[in-house]
Structure 1
Amino acid sequence: MKKISKRLKQAKELLIKKVYSIDESLELIKQTATAKFIESVEAHVCLNIDPKYANQQLRTSLILPKGNGKTSRLAVLISEDKIKEEYKNQVEIIGSMDLIEKITQGEINFDILISSPEMMPKLAKLGRILGPKGLMPSPKSGTVTDNIELTIEEFKKGKIEYKADKMGIVHLIFGKTNFSISDLKENLLSVYKSLEQNKPSGVKGKYFNNFYICNSMGPSIEINLSDLKDL
């Protein structure tokens, strides 16, 4: 049996209820952030979906109004004749067939891969490499686009991708523990609204099962779903 650290045990003792309001839960996020580094603030949302069915899959993106506090390394895959000098100044990696060759060899030095549509057929063979890492570009997540400049700008501003895993759970980071409570709240509500707006067409009945938040090293805190729906 895994031993619980003294720090985590003390953090769990602060949780005296099963569910909390948004404001209460964010206060607890601050109180339980006792690690020696600035922790990420995560949302883990259990949805009433079965992703094995095409009409119950969820993969999309949203722009967090306050960003998520993480600097993502962007890579752009585009045909050689469309590479612009300004793109090189905005992203960490840009390339065409040379970038595909690097990925083939296992050089994946980026967190997000943006691709123009004409490069996707050439990238298809790398699905077995990029897919498991969640790095395969997709129109649904906004990473397959003709408007490279706007897409780069959006991801720099705090655009994030998310999808439901095979159990129907969405995991994402929506801030850092050094964010103000008001900034965390604004981001959290954006997450909830995005999930609501992108509800898969095949969902019948209840959509949200549970909505939890936590910091990187702290306990899970369940948010009262009615509190979210009322805002």
Structure 2
Amino acid sequence: MSKKLTKNRKKILEKISSKNKKYSLKEAISIIKEIKFVNFDASVDISVHLGIDVRSPNQMVRGTVLLPYGTGKNICVLALVPEEKELEVQKAGADFVGLKYIEKIKSGWTNVDIIVATPSVMNQLGNIGKILGPKGLMPNPQMGTVSINPEISVKEIKSGKIRFKADRYGIVHASIGRISFLHDYLLINIEEFMKIIIRNKPSASKGSYIKSIYLSSTMSCGIPLDLKSFVNK
């Protein structure tokens, strides 16, 4: 972390301390790039507070989005597939391949970010559900991680496909790039993410669906976004 703030950073921090100020997406991205506080390529994150009743199953918001410019992070993928599919998923970029990893998971190994599986092997995962479930690693058809074409799923994940799910407070958190990304790359990634969030509005949700949106980077404060950047498009 920087030990000393420059005059420009101080001015920016003072500017965004205003409680009522909301920023356009373009302004927020510029500010995020100005107030970098770490010496590594920080993650750029978005938090969207939704007007949903999280206690109602038919108002759960979850899904996937393929970010046009990826996340800037190498996602580690395990593909649990039959032997005849192993070569295909390896070529698609899977880091670990094969049903032999089921036994390894039973021993406590979960050093992956996402697990992809075919429908034919799902009945073999019952014994490890209690291990994978709490870590958010259990393959799920709704999230695109259970597929008859696992090689396509792996390729999409490696290309920047991310999963999202509203937490118990109705907030969706996601990493949508890196501080080193070009301004327009971040802009396009965020616009694509928000398009999918808006498209996933539950029919049972009443009133304002998008309550607030904040943009931040690693160890930075959140920049409140003007909702008009999205909801009026």
Superposed counterparts of 1:105-120, under 5 Å: 105-120=107-122
**Distance between the aligned counterparts of 2:152 and 2:55, measured in 1?**
33
**Distance between the aligned counterparts of 2:139 and 2:87, measured in 1?**
22
TM-fit CA distance, 1:219: 0.4
Q: Deviations over 1:95-150 (max 9, x none)?
A: 11x21111111111211100111222221332322122111111111101101121
TM-fit CA distance, 1:228: 1.6
Report whether the alignment pairs 1:15 with 2:9.
no
Question: Percent same amino acid at aligned positions?
Answer: 37
Tell me, yes or no, if the aligned pair for 2:86 and 2:98 is still in contact at 8 Å.
Answer: no
Superposed counterparts of 1:22-37, under 5 Å: 22-37=25-40
TM-score by length of 1: 0.91
Question: What residue in structure 1 maps to residue 127 of structure 2?
Answer: 125
Farther-moved stretch of structure 1 (52-61 vs 170-179): 52-61
**Distance between the aligned counterparts of 1:124 and 1:14, measured in 2?**
53
Tell me, yes or no, if the aligned pair for 1:50 and 1:166 is still in contact at 8 Å.
Answer: no
**Distance between the aligned counterparts of 1:75 and 1:116, measured in 2?**
12
TM-fit CA distance, 1:19: 1.1
Q: What is the letter of the counterpart of residue 165 of structure 2? A: K
Question: What residue in structure 1 maps to residue 102 of structure 2?
Answer: 100
**Distance between the aligned counterparts of 2:181 and 2:216, measured in 1?**
14
**Distance between the aligned counterparts of 1:127 and 1:190, measured in 2?**
32
Farther-moved stretch of structure 1 (21-30 vs 148-157): 148-157
DSSP-derived class of the 1:42 partner: strand
Farther-moved stretch of structure 1 (150-159 vs 118-127): 118-127
Report whether the alignment pairs 1:157 with 2:159.
yes
TM-fit CA distance, 1:49: 1.3
Report whether the alignment pairs 1:221 with 2:223.
yes
TM-score by length of 2: 0.90
TM-fit CA distance, 1:16: 4.8
Q: What is the letter of the counterpart of residue 94 of structure 2? A: V
**Distance between the aligned counterparts of 1:136 and 1:190, measured in 2?**
26
TM-fit CA distance, 1:6: 6.2
Q: Quick one: which of 45, 50, 56 aligns to 2:48?
A: 45
Question: What residue in structure 2 maps to residue 230 of structure 1?
Answer: 232
**Distance between the aligned counterparts of 2:126 and 2:13, measured in 1?**
45
**Distance between the aligned counterparts of 2:232 and 2:16, measured in 1?**
23
TM-fit CA distance, 1:169: 0.6
**Distance between the aligned counterparts of 1:201 and 1:78, measured in 2?**
35
Q: What is the letter of the counterpart of residue 191 of structure 1? A: F
Farther-moved stretch of structure 1 (22-31 vs 122-131): 122-131
**Distance between the aligned counterparts of 2:130 and 2:183, measured in 1?**
40
What is the aligned-residue RMSD (CA, Å)? 1.9
DSSP-derived class of the 1:128 partner: helix
TM-fit CA distance, 1:78: 1.3
Tell me, yes or no, if the aligned pair for 2:141 and 2:147 is still in contact at 8 Å.
Answer: yes
Q: Quick one: which of 201, 204, 210 aligns to 2:203?
A: 201
Farther-moved stretch of structure 1 (161-170 vs 200-209): 200-209
TM-fit CA distance, 1:93: 0.5
Question: What residue in structure 2 maps to residue 174 of structure 1?
Answer: 176
Q: Deviations over 1:3-25 (max 9, x none)?
A: xx865x94633415431111110
**Distance between the aligned counterparts of 1:49 and 1:59, measured in 2?**
12
Instruction: Kindly report structure 1 stretches of 4+ aligned residues shifted beyond 6 Å.
Output: none
